[in-house]
């Protein structure tokens, strides 16, 4: 499979995402500068973390208007899978590809720590290979990760099973102390209605090898690869 | 001519900055204040000319990029 990893001024997790796809999972991946305007030949897009455009105005607000994001809009509309991590999630919300917004953490602090994630729906290209009931141990590193959507949209997300991941404690309960940023309903990640665009605040690309202390993040990338392979074999 | 734009968080959105400032003011002795809302102020310089056309264009810009309608309200004013 061939992955595009987008690169904006001040992206800083692009190399990690590239490394995981190429060296850990053995698939091809290429960095795409934000001024490029075509995604021809790519099977999936990763929008990595960082501080695109210095987080000026709002996180992700300026990146969403870059040329490559217009290509992402088309790619997503055609059913291509797009995964936004941290700042990538913020960009997808600003772009309207995912509902809601990410605002300043409730604590006003930049939170950099490991959290537990529960997979709330395994019915998506990004979660299918995560074993039922398994909690993922992943790092977070953000100042603006508090998920907000109005009540009507939250109900829609819940009813459509679009909430993919929630912050939980070690027992798997979505409690208030286990919520690192004040996200409504402990939402850490979600997908669109068509289920081909997803975003999450935690960093699976920083936890995909045992040498890093935890390899749970791999399951998210492996889910995506498995979904792409199934799609390719159906098309053949 | 210039445009003055004030962007504030919607009332339903958690505003931890505003809350922290309100607490600080209370502690400093400014008793009895209500909620504090922290927003942004933008000033855009404009060439003299068609005021209404600028108002329309910037109103659109406010909705598209200068504010995020999911979490923010804005107020736009064009001044001579």
Using a CB–CB cutoff of 8 Å, tell me whether A199 touches chain B.
no
Interatomic CA distance for residues A108 and A111, integer angstroms = 9
- In this prediction, the answer to ipTM > 0.90 reads no
Chain B partners within 8 Å of A180 (Cβ)? none
CATH number of the structural domain spanning residue A64: 3.40.50.880
- pLDDT tens string B15-69: 999 999 999 999 999 999 999 999 999 999 999 889 999 999 999 999 999 999 9
What was the pLDDT predicted at A75? 98
DSSP B32-78: T-------EEEEEE--SS-HHHHHHHHHHHIIIIIS-TTTEEEEEEE
Question: Chain-wide mean pLDDT for chain A?
Answer: 97
* B79 contact A CB<8A: no
Task: Provide the token pair at A68.
Answer: 């490559």
CB contact, 8 Å: B13 with chain A?
yes
State the pLDDT confidence band at B14, using cuts at 50, 70 and 90: confident
- Reading the block at residue B78, the tokens are 């064009």
In this prediction, residue A236 has a pLDDT band, given cuts at 50, 70 and 90, of confident
A144: closest chain B residue by CA: B16
**Interchain contact A175–B (C-beta under 8 A):** no
Beta bridge partners of B75: B6
Least confident of A92-101, A160-169, A190-199, B12-21: B12-21
pLDDT digits (tens, 9 = 90+) for A151-191: 999 999 999 999 999 999 999 999 999 999 999 999 999 99
For chain B, positions 18-57, list CB contacts with chain A under 8 A: 20
Burial class (CB in 10 A: 0-12, 13-18, 19+), A69: buried
> Do A105 and B70 count as a contact with CB atoms less than 8 A apart?
no
User: What percentage of chain A has pLDDT greater than the value 90?
Assistant: 99
**A25: its two tokens:** 């999972």
- To the nearest whole Å, the CA of A186 is away from the closest chain B CA by 14
Minimal-distance CA residue of chain B relative to A59: B68
Domain encompassing residue A142: 2-235
In whole angstroms, give the CA distance from residue A165 to residue A167: 7
Instruction: Name the domain count of chain A.
Output: 1
A21-39: average pLDDT: 97
Specify whether A205 is catalytic: yes
Output the pLDDT for position B12.
86
Task: Give the pLDDT of residue A173.
Answer: 98
pLDDT band at A235 (very low <50, low <70, confident <90, very high): confident
Collect all residues of chain B within an 8 Å Cβ-Cβ radius of residue A156. Answer: none
* Residue B1 scores a pLDDT above 90: yes
CB contact under 8 A, B71 and A106: no
Q: Which fold has domain B2-79?
A: Mth169; Chain: A , (3.30.1280)
Q: Output DSSP code: residue A176.
A: S
A105 part of contact set with chain B, CB < 8 Å: yes
Contact yes or no for B14 and A57 at CB 8 A: no
Going from N- to C-terminal start, the domains of chain B cover 2-79
Characterize the bridge pairing of strands A44-47 and A111-119. Answer: unpaired
Instruction: Write down the catalytic residue from A13, A86, A93, A146.
Output: A86
What's the pLDDT score for residue A23? 97
Is A174 at the interface with chain B, CB within 8 A? no
Instruction: State residue A87's pLDDT score.
Output: 97
- Identify the active-site residue in A27, A34, A142, A203: A203
Q: What is the model's pLDDT at position B80?
A: 84
Q: Which of B17, B66, B68 sits opposite A94 (nearest CB)?
A: B68
* Chain A contact present for B12, CB below 8 A: yes
Q: What is the pTM of this model?
A: 0.95
């Amino acid at each position: 499979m061939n992955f595009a990893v987008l690169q904006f001024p001040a992206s800083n997790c692009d190399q990690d995402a590239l490394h995981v796809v190429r060296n850990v999972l053995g698939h091809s991946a290429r960095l795409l500068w934000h001024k490029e305007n075509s995604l021809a030949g790519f099977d999936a897009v990763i929008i990595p973390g960082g501080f695109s455009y210095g987080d000026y105005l709002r996180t992700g607000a300026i990146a969403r208007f870059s040329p490559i994001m217009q290509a992402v809009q088309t790619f997503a509309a055609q059913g291509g899978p797009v995964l936004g991590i941290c700042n990538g999630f913020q960009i997808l919300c600003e772009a309207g590809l995912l509902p809601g917004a990410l605002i300043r953490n409730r604590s006003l602090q930049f939170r950099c720590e490991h959290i537990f994630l529960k997979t709330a729906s395994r019915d998506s290209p990004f979660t299918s290979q995560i074993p039922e009931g398994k909690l993922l141990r992943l790092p977070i590193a953000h100042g603006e990760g508090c998920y907000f959507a109005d009540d009507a949209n939250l109900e829609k997300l819940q009813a459509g099973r679009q909430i993919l991941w929630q912050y939980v404690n070690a027992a798997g309960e979505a409690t208030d102390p286990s919520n690192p940023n004040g996200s409504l309903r402990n939402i850490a990640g979600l997908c669109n209605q068509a289920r081909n665009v997803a975003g999450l605040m935690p960093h699976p690309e920083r936890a995909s090898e045992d040498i890093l202390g935890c390899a749970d993040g791999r399951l998210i990338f492996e889910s995506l690869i498995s979904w792409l392979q199934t799609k390719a074999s159906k098309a053949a | 001519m210039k445009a003055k734009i004030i962007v504030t968080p919607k009332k339903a959105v958690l505003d931890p900055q505003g809350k922290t400032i309100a607490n600080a003011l209370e502690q400093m002795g400014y008793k009895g204040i209500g909620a504090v809302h922290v927003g942004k102020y933008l000033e855009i310089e404009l060439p003299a000319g068609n005021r209404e056309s600028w108002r329309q264009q910037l109103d659109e810009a406010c909705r598209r990029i200068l504010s995020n309608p999911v979490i923010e309200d804005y107020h736009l004013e064009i001044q001579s």
